[in-house]
Amino acid sequence: MHLNIQDPPKLVFSGTPREIGLSHGHHLQSQIKDQMSVYEEMFRHSCDMDWASARQDAEKFRATIERLTPHLHEEMQGIADGAGVHILDIVTLNCRSEITFGKFTDGCTSLSWKRSDDCRILAQNWDFAPGVQRNIAFMEIDRPGQPTIYMVGEAGIVGKIGFNSACVGTCLNAIRAHPCISSKLPIHVALRLCLESISAEDAVQKLERLGGTGSSQHILVADSTSSFGLELSPLGNVYIEEDDYGMVTHTNHFLENHFVYAPPWLSGSPVRLARARQLSRELIDSGVLSEDQLIPGVLREKVFSDLYNAPQSICGQSDWTLDRIEQVVTLFNIVMRLDPKNLGAEVAVGQPGSGRETSVVKMPWR
């Protein structure tokens, strides 16, 4: 599947939660409405659910968001007002993973690596529906008294993949498992809370204090001195620590969390996991990652461009045996350097190594 790929917009949102939301909604109004159409089609195909039914389910999560994270509820109301839509439309976007019980086709590969005692490399390919590609945005979020957030996000959604000025970064791997509990946090809200944290440990404690997540997901969270694989579920969490290579690697199945039953879903997930571990360990052993400036490019070329076991490869390819709406490809690659002395990230929008990705975008970009 060939995508018409352009660099996403680079936007800065600042002020109070409402002001941040209003700016978000205003600048991304057309993308938000398009995103609603994209997800409506996915809801119909995956769950036989129309947008009105999805909004009804979203109301339960809206009440949870207002109760547990009132500042993000205020931001979502601002997004809705800025975009000229109802707040339940925005909540539906933010809890789309919970509404569908993970029935959307997905496939992401993430890793963290201990570069040194005070530096972690955090990286992933984000694989999802090609229709979402045109609604991605680079977001800088500045709220007084909070770390500045640098995020590769979806229009209308408050949390995603990225890092903050306190050197805390997040990656996400979808997991398909029951149950889903609407009195707990949607995963995209949980991601935002991690990005508002001052350390990886602070992020873990914050999620625990608020009661955890309503769906089963994996968040790879790291700061400059530690990283944890948060295998989250409504019935209990497991935290995976760095291995002997200083790494945490994850795809789309639980490794250690047995609180919920996660049925076999993506046959390629264990293959991608083993492949990512093999390739990254070979790079570490070779010493090629000792040159700091080479790390993002080498990881993109040697790990995240890998096509072994395509279409369910680390660099996700179109599976032409599936319907159009079920197609999943890599939409972007991000490599973050969580180092207080040299903080930043490189993002390649599109499939890394394909020759069709856009130029590499650096974050922060200003």
Query: How confident is residue 212, by pLDDT bands cut at 50, 70 and 90?
Result: very high
Q: How high is the pLDDT of residue 74?
A: 98
Q: How confident is the model at residue 46 (pLDDT cuts 50, 70, 90)?
A: confident
The pLDDT of 39-62, averaged and rounded, is 92
Mean pLDDT of 31-51: 92
The partner residues of 128 in beta bridges, in order of sequence, read 329
Q: Give the integer Cα–Cα distance in Å for 328 and 33.
A: 21
pLDDT of residue 178: 87
Would you say residue 237 has pLDDT above 50? yes
Instruction: Give 1-366's CATH code, choosing from 2.60.120.260, 3.40.47.10, 3.40.50.2300, 3.60.60.10.
Output: 3.60.60.10
> Mean per-residue pLDDT for 105-133?
94
Nearest residue to 185 via CA among 73, 85, 110, 261: 73
- pLDDT reported for residue 324: 79
Query: What's the confidence (pLDDT) of residue 1?
Result: 42
Q: What is the reported pLDDT for 271?
A: 97
Mean pLDDT of the chain: 94
Question: Residue 137's pLDDT band (boundaries 50, 70, 90)?
Answer: very high
Q: Looking at the predicted structure, is the pLDDT value of residue 2 above 50?
A: no
- Nearest-angstrom CA–CA distance, 115 and 292: 9
Q: What pTM was estimated for this model as a whole?
A: 0.96
Instruction: Tell me what pLDDT residue 355 has.
Output: 75
pLDDT band (50, 70, 90) for residue 75: very high
CA distance 348 to 351: 8
Q: pLDDT: is 246 or 267 the higher one?
A: 246
pLDDT at position 104, please?
A: 59
**By the 8 A CB rule, do 135 and 154 touch?**
yes
Residue appearing with tokens 């159409």: 37
State mean pLDDT over 123-152. Answer: 96
Three-state SS for 45?
A: helix
pLDDT at 196 exceeding the cut of 90: yes
pLDDT digits (tens, 9 = 90+) for 4-29: 567 899 999 999 999 999 999 999 99
pLDDT of residue 335: 98
Band the pLDDT of 308: cuts 50, 70, 90: very high
Contact (CB, 8 A) for 295 and 130: no
CB 333 within 8 A of CB 123: yes
In whole angstroms, give the CA distance from residue 318 to residue 312: 9
Contacts of 244 (CB under 8 A, 6+ apart): none
Confidence of residue 105 (pLDDT cuts 50, 70, 90): low
Query: pLDDT tens, 240-253?
Result: 999 999 999 999 99
